[in-house]
Amino acid sequence: MGWHLRLLLSLLVVFAAEATTTKHMRDFIRVVESIEAANPGLQMLDVVKGLRKIAGFETDLPKRYLSDLSDAHLLVADPSVNSYIHEVINHSLSQVGKEKGVVLTIDGSNVALAPMLLGLQAGLQSTIKDLYTVTLTNNLVASFLHHVQHEQSSIPFGTKGFWDSISSPMVYTLEGLPSLATDAIIIGGMDGFILGSEVASSNIREQSLSDLLKSYYSHQPDATGLEASPRLISQNRRKNFKQLVSFSLLKSQVVQALTARRNLNESERKKLDDVMKHGVDKFVHVYATCPSIITRSQWGAASYIGSPSYLPYPVPYLFIHHSYSPSTPCTTFDQCASDMRSMQSYHQNSNGWADIGYNFVAGGDGNLYEGRGWDWVGAHAYGYNSVSYGICYIGDYTSTLPSKSALDMVRYDFTGCAMNSGDLALDYSLYGHRQADSTECPGNTLYREIQNWEYWNSYLP
């Protein structure tokens, strides 16, 4: 390679480093692109191992199941790129609730890069038998054990967090009780499992790493919804994961690993037995049965004004709404989060309500957005707020319908999730908003649609 070409590639790497200022997946992909440009001719596996080498990410887990990095290429990269790679790949939790090694994606999910890269490497090396261990099993086992020994100050898994900025994320802060297997670790593990399975069984291993990550993490659905989108995209994470994983095998691996632990006292052993009975089932419920739920802190909600009232369980009624304004469905996390903030502001500042009126809101991006959530009484169906959930579709559905994927998310995924958890009655009744109030909501076309749903009831007591 001529000196002038090497100089150009080096300048590209430096430019990429200077442009990379956030913890967003798009910036990580840009860095990977710049590294691939400066190190031409490498296969995807070479780049994955090279990134790990730059980051110094060589713990006992990958050494045991994926071999060490002694044969990894020493990638050419600017020192500032090396620093960025080290920061975004190495996962850690601080005592003040900061989680590092996590990036925000265009679909609103937060992904720990370490388990995602390990899953990719396992697939590229055709070590599929170890895919469960390096992506999910090991992290779940460690988190379950930590919870057993710190029951009052932790949860078994799935701690979520929020960014300091949605548009320019830099700092990710956990909320609530911590867990070792945070939501970002699990999402990264799911992506590692999916992508590892794909590269092991198809020719996409011939792509560059940056092209694979772009196709998976950068897709933006249009108004037709996810059914018109490619199969292998992050918005289809839960769907693909359910099709690929054997939950019985995952559970047996977790139980086997936990049973082998000998350094527990009798009390901890009893707690561990309970975790083994219910932990993986709860994991399946959250990450396979339920839809992707964006929390209030993730979309940037303002605080509830005053003190909320609480719903009884199980909730007997479910009301369907449309926003009317915004009149068009949102199709990206950024747009949906903005719509949520706009609706909340209108409900609080113009209507004088304590919060956004709905319990949940269905976006066209594949996410369900938490409004007042599972517990708080809403303000969406006069006379029935204290005994119902209200779900709103963003958009005006007077003469059109939400996308099929958005319809199915509420009709099947949300209701299945809510009934499975005991939050929604197994014999609940479904209504349109107009059945409780003098309104055209949820729009003529959507109202006709929900009358075909299994639990719709023409009679409202």
pLDDT attached to residue 270: 81
pLDDT at 1: 46
Answer yes or no: are the C-beta atoms of 178 and 97 closer than 8 Å: yes
State how far the Cα of 192 lies from the Cα of 169, in Å rounded to an integer: 22
pLDDT of 4: 47
CA-closest candidate to residue 108, choices 402, 332, 413 = 332
Q: With contact defined as beta carbons under 8 Å apart, do 75 and 47 qualify?
A: yes
Q: Going by C-beta distance under 8 Å and a sequence separation of 6 or more, which residues neighbour residue 156?
A: 143, 144, 147, 179, 181, 275, 279, 282
HEC sequence for 344-379:
HHHHHHHCCCCCCCCCEEECCCCEEEECCCCCECCC
Q: How much is the pLDDT for 262? A: 63
Q: Which token pair is 438?
A: 């003098």
pTM more than 0.85: yes
Q: Are strands 424-432 and 102-104 parallel, antiparallel or unpaired?
A: unpaired
Phi and psi angles of residue 174, each rounded to the nearest 5 degrees, phi first? -75, 150
Locate 166 and state its tokens. Answer: 């949605």
CB atoms within 10 A of CB 304: 16
pLDDT score at 7: 43
Amino acid 366: pLDDT: 95
Label each residue of 89-110 as H, E or C: HCCEECCCCEEECEEECCCCCE
How many whole angstroms separate alpha carbon 304 and alpha carbon 447?
A: 30
**pLDDT mean values, one per 10 residues, the chain (461 residues):** 47 48 95 95 96 94 91 89 95 94 97 98 90 95 91 93 96 95 98 97 91 96 86 96 94 86 76 82 96 97 98 97 94 96 98 98 97 98 98 97 96 98 98 97 98 97 93
Amino acid identity, position 20: T
Query: Could you tell me the CA-to-CA distances from 290 to 21, 239, 414 in Å, in that order?
Result: 34, 11, 6
- Predicted local distance difference test score (pLDDT) of residue 372: 98
Instruction: List the one residue out of 37, 33, 22, 32 whose CA is nearest residue 54.
Output: 32
pLDDT at 128 (0 to 100): 79
Please check whether residue 455 is in contact with residue 318, taking contact to mean a CB–CB distance below 8 angstroms. yes
Q: Are strands 172-174 and 161-163 parallel, antiparallel or unpaired?
A: antiparallel
DSSP character for 153? G
